Structure 1
Amino acid sequence: MKYVNDTVRRQDRLMDEDRARELLRTSEYGVLSMADTDGTGYGIPVNYVWDGADSIYIHCAPDGHKLDALERQPGVSFCIIGNVHLLPSRFTTEYESVILKGTAHIHLTAEERMKALHLIVDKLSPDYRSIGYKYSEKSFHRVNIIRVDFSEYSGKCKHVPNAD
């Protein structure tokens, strides 16, 4: 996965790659955007876990609209929003965002799906890991996993001096 910030129009708002990776690692959710089954845009907020390399995993039902759309067109983008601070008196907003581009994969092996569920439990329910692993095994037949492999990403932020 390549960090590509040279295409960001506002070069004065570039985010440091380390901070972009930190947001990717720690954020609870992002917005997965794809082409809908009718060709229009379709974006949904989802929980996810990053594998520490080039991919994220998203859990979902074993069938549904999102999977139908990804089956037809696997190219996606994923947006993570970090710290946001509305500054009404200054008519602006402080923010952080990371945009990733990649390809979704929906036909994973059972082994990879279970590994992903464990990663999700580790991230979102670390204090309940043992129970979460058991729950993952019991509900495995009711869950599908989407893996998104990213080719590139970029980060942007705006910090306003004396924003308080």
Structure 2
Amino acid sequence: MFREMRRKEKQLATEETIQMLERTLYGTLALLGDGGYPYSLPISFAYKDNKIYFHGAMQGHKIDAIKKEPKVSLSVVEKNEVLPEKFDTLYRSAIVFGKARVLSEPQEKREGLLALIEKYSSEYMQSGQAYIEKALAAVSVMEIEIEHMTGKEGK
């Protein structure tokens, strides 16, 4: 179903790809948007237990697209260094494919938001948990169940 990477010598091991997802601060989420046009947007996200979590408003283009077509992809770039004299780049990137859903159960939403707090604000866990409780009803939390992912590195 998913294509194999053509340049296999550049493919990263799954564990290295997961570590990249844990370190990278943002990615670009690709969805099927209105009128069949692709819709991509930058998101902050957290990886946990073979899932990607992210949050957003309770309504809008992102939510509508996920409800219409749950198949999505997320791409991240951890490193990108241009080598102008060599007409090349040094890079590390990953692509994740999966099915997204809007979480509806409060406990699921808490877990997704907690994963985000752990990644971006780990030194503020106690106040982060209080923040989650205040924001829970006013925020949507989405989850991508990862079906396939690849990491790639150009050295």
Q: Is the 8 A contact 1:5 1:155 kept in 2?
A: no
- 1:97 pairs with 2:93: yes
RMSD of Structure 2 on Structure 1 (CA): 1.7
1:106 alignment partner in structure 2: 102
Q: Is the 8 A contact 1:5 1:14 kept in 2?
A: no
Which of 9, 16, 20 aligns to 2:6? It is 9
- Equivalent residue of 1:155, what SS? strand
- In 2, Cα distance between equivalents of 1:5 and 1:98: 14
- 1:64 pairs with 2:63: no
Unaligned runs of 5+ in 1: 160-164
Q: Deviations over 1:40-99 (max 9, x none)?
A: 111111011111x22111011111110011111110011111111111111111101111
2:84 alignment partner in structure 1: 88
Please tell me the residue identity of whatever aligns with 1:37: D
1:32 alignment partner in structure 2: 29
Please tell me the residue identity of whatever aligns with 1:15: L
- Quote the sequence identity (%): 27
Deviation at 1:145, TM superposition (A): 0.4
- In 1, Cα distance between equivalents of 2:10 and 2:98: 23
Aligned residues: 155
TM-score by length of 2: 0.93
- In 2, Cα distance between equivalents of 1:20 and 1:89: 29
- Equivalent residue of 2:29, what SS? strand
> 4+ residue stretches of structure 1 with deviation over 4 A?
none
TM-score by length of 1: 0.88
1:148 alignment partner in structure 2: 144
1:22 alignment partner in structure 2: 19
